[in-house]
Structure 1
Amino acid sequence: MQKYRKVPWQRNLRQVPAAILNKIQHLPTDAFVVGCVKTLTASQLTDPFGHLAPPGELDAASDVLPPANMGLYSERNTHGWVEKRKDLPKITKTFYWESPNFGDAATYGTHLHFHDRQVYQTEYHEPRLYKIRTKLLKMATGPVGGGVYQITVDQPLLRSQKDFEKELLFILNLLQENCGEVDVFSDGASAEEIISTLSLDWDVFPPGTNEDIVRHFIGGRQLPAGKAGVVAERVKLFSLLKPNAYLKGKGTFGNYIGARYADDLVVFENMDYGNALYILYDDWAEVSKRSRLDLIRGTDATFDRLVHSYGWEQAFGKIMKREKRKRGLV
C-alpha cells in the first residue's frame, strides 16, 4: 500500500535552492514567509488542491493543517519524529511493560514490569503543526473558472535568526509536498511578533489546591470536549509528588503546562498535542529561555519522554521518586 498520496509534482527538496537563498538576502525586510502564487482552474481546486481548504471553500481565505499523507514533512508536521543517535554514547533508560498475572489476564488481571537498560540516545522532535493559508487574489473570468491564489505556510521566519536555513528547508518541503511550488515573500510582521510565535514565556506560580491550579491552567480557554478532565488528571498526578511551583506557557503557548520539583527537575506537557509527558533534568533558568522548537534540546540524555500508553503514570512516579532521592527531596 502506498504510504503517501500521489502528486503530479516533485515531492521534496534535498536542500534550499540557491535562488531562494539569494532572494531572501535581497528582500527589503528581515522577516519573510514561504509561499507561492498559483493560477488554478475550477477542476484543480478539487484535484489535486482540494486538501488545502474545506470542501468548496478555497475561494474563502482559509488555514488548514496539511494532511499527514501528503509526504514526509507533512507527516512530521502533524506527528513529530524521532532520530536515534548511534554516534553518541549509550545511556540508561527505564522501560516498562504489561504482563498477565498467572498467564491469564482475563481472570487474574495484569501487572507492570520495570527494567533499566543501556540504549542509544534519541532526539525527539515535537510536531510543528504549521498550517497552510490559502487566499484568492483574483477570480478567473474565463470558462474554466478558478483564479489566482496565494498559498503560504503560516510561520514567518527571520533571515537574522540563528540556523534559520534548517527550519526554512522544513517549511519549503512542507509547501512543496502540498502544492508543488515554492517561493518566498517579505512579511509585514515585526521581528518581535515573529519571535513571539517561536519563543515560550512561562507563568510560574506557587502550589495551591488542585481546583485552583486547574483554573489557572485553563485560564478561561475554550477547551475541546474532555480536555479539561485531562488537565485535572495531570494536576492530580503532579501534586502527588509535591512540586515547588507550577508552570504554564503564556499567550499562544497556554497549551504548555507543567510543574517544577527542583531547579533541575521539571515536567511539562503540550496539551494540544498531548501524547507524551517530558521530565527535564536541565537547569530551569536555562530551560525557561528556550524557544518552542528548542524546548527539548539535544538528546534524551537530559530528559525522559513518557508516551501515554498503559502504565505511564506508574513509570512517572517511579522515575520521579528516583530523581527526587538523588536530590535529597525525599
Structure 2
Amino acid sequence: MASRFPWKGNYQKVPPSVQASLDGIAGDLIAVAATKKVAREDIAAGLYAHVGLRIDNDEVATSGPLFPPADAGKWSERNAFGWDRKRQDWPMVQKTWTFESPNFGDGARNGWTMRSWTKDVYQHQIFEPQGMTVEPTILEDRGGKMVVVKFALAPMLERGMPEFDLMLLWSINVLQENTGVTGVFASEATKEEYVATVTLDWQIFPPGTADEVVSRLVGSAHPSNAPDFEKHVRERVRLFEGFQPKAYLRGQGGFGSYFGAQFADDLVVFENLKYGNAIYLLYEDWSEVSQRSRLDLLRDQDAHFDRVVHTDGWQERLTALLHDKLFERGLRRRRSGYRAKRRG
C-alpha cells in the first residue's frame, strides 16, 4: 500500500538507528516514540490532523491519543483491521469447515443438510486489530515557522512479550507511516503499570435468565467504539442459551468490550465488540486462558482456536461448530442429518 503522506512509508526491517537505540536501553519496557521539527504551515494545512496536531486560534494544539487511519500504510491497515499471516514454516494441522448442501440435489424439495469437511492445512497466525494509538506532545513552540513535537505510540512494548521483534517492527512502522519519524526510548513507567494496560481480567457470571445475564454482562460498560453494545450482547446471549453455557464472561475495566461464554474447561467462546469483526472458539484450559494477556489472546496460531468472521451466515457456522465441539466433549448429541467428509 502506497503512503498517502509525503514521507517514507515504512521499513522492511528495523533500521540501524532504532536498533542502536534499542541496544542502549537497559530496561524491559520500550516506548516507541520520536521527535520531529514540524512546519507550522504543514500543521495549518492539516497534514498532521489525523494524529491530533492542529492550529487552534493561531496556536498549535493537540488532541489524542488517536487511532491512526487505516489508509496511512500497510502496517496501519493491519493495526486497524488485523492480519492473517500464513505460516508455511509451521506443521500442518487439521481444520474443519461446515456448510449446507441440498439433499439429493434439490434443496427446495428435499431440504438441506449441514455437513463438515476436514483436511490438513497450513496454520495461520491471526493478529486481531492491535489498537495502537498515536499522541503528539508539543516540546517547543517559540512562535516561529517550526515547532518541535514528540509523537508517541501506545501501548508500550516489553522485551519478553510474544513476537517482540515482529511487534517492534509493526509499532515503529505505524509511527513512521503516520508521522514520518520513528524511534524507541526507555520507559519510565513501572512494569506493573504497563501490565495493567494489557492484562485482560475477566469477570465470571453464572447462567441465569437472558435479562439477568445481559444486565450483568453490560453493567456500566458502554464502549465508545462499540455502538449498540447492549443489543449485540443480547443477541449473543440468545444464541449461547441453546448450548447451556457453564458461565458468562466479561472483561473488566478498559476491556469491557470483551465478553463471551464458557461451555467446558477447554471451550470458551468470546469476542471483542470494539472491533466486532469475528467471534472465537478457544480450545484451551480455562484456568490458563483466564491468565493470558489481551495481547496474547489477539495474537495466536489458529491451531488453538477457530475464528468465525462476521460475514453472511456466520451465526449458522458458529452454531454448527459449537454443536461439533460439544459433541466431541460428550456434552451434546450429534446433529440430526450430520454428515462428515474427510479429505487428505
Residues 161-200 of structure 1 mapped to structure 2, 5 A cutoff: 161=161, 163-200=163-200
Match of 2:338 in 1: none
Gaps of 5+ in 2: 333-344
Maintained 8 Å contact 1:112/1:311: no
Aligned mate of 2:10, from 6, 9, 12: 12
- In structure 1, C-alpha distance between the alignment counterparts of 2:189 and 2:160, rounded to whole Å: 14
Q: 1:194-240 CA distances to partner (integer Å, 9 max, x unpaired)?
A: 11222222112211121122122222123454221011111111122
Corresponding residue number in structure 1 for 2:297: 295
Identity level (%): 36
- State the one-letter code of the partner of 1:116: W
Letter in 1 for 2:293: S
- Contact preservation (8 Å) 2:46, 2:54: no
- Shift in Å, 1:175: 0.6
Other-structure match for 2:314:
312
3-state DSSP of counterpart to 1:34: strand
Deviations 1:292-313 (A, max 9, x none): 1211564322311111122211
Q: Gapped runs of 5+ residues in structure 1? A: none
TM-score w.r.t. length of structure 1: 0.87
C-alpha deviation, 1:104, in angstroms: 12
SS where residue 62 of structure 1 aligns?
coil
Aligned residue pairs total: 321
**Match for 1:96 among 99, 102, 108?**
99
**CA 1:298/1:112 → structure 2, altered by over 3 Å: closer, same or farther?**
same
Please state whether the residue corresponding to 2:61 is helix, strand or coil: coil
Q: Does 1:21 align with 2:8?
A: no
Structure 1 Cα separation of the partners of residues 27 and 125 of structure 2:
34
Q: Look up the match of 2:52.
A: 53
CA offset at residue 316 of structure 1? 1.4
* TM-aligned CA deviation for residue 114 of structure 1: 4.5
Say whether the 8 Å CA contact 1:140–1:148 is kept in structure 2: no
In structure 2, the CA distance between the partners of 1:238 and 1:30, relative to structure 1 (3 Å rule), is same
Q: Secondary structure at the match of 2:181?
A: coil
Q: Which amino acid aligns with 1:50?
A: A
The aligned counterpart of 1:154 is 154
Deviations 1:136-161 (A, max 9, x none): 2222322x3x5221111021223455
The 3-state SS of whatever aligns with 2:220 is coil
1:36 maps to: 34
Shift of 1:254: 1.6
The residue aligned with 1:116 is 117
Work out the CA distance in 1 between the residues paired with 2:300 and 2:66: 30
Q: Which amino acid aligns with 2:190?
A: S
Task: Name the residue aligned to 2:235.
Answer: 233
Superimposed CA distance per residue, residues 168-187 of structure 1 (whole angstroms, 9 cap, x where no aligned partner):
22111111111121122233
Distance 1:156 1:21 in 2: 16
Alignment-mate amino acid for residue 21 of structure 1: Q
CA contact (8 A) 2:33 2:182 kept: yes
Cα separation, partners in 2 of 1:218 and 1:296, compared to 1, 3 Å: same
Counterpart residue type for residue 92 of structure 1: K
Q: Which position in structure 1 is the counterpart of 2:136?
A: 134
Does structure 2 retain, via aligned residues, the 8 Å contact 1:258–1:266? yes
Query: Displacement of 1:317 after TM fit?
Result: 1.5
2:29/2:158 contact within 8 Å kept:
yes
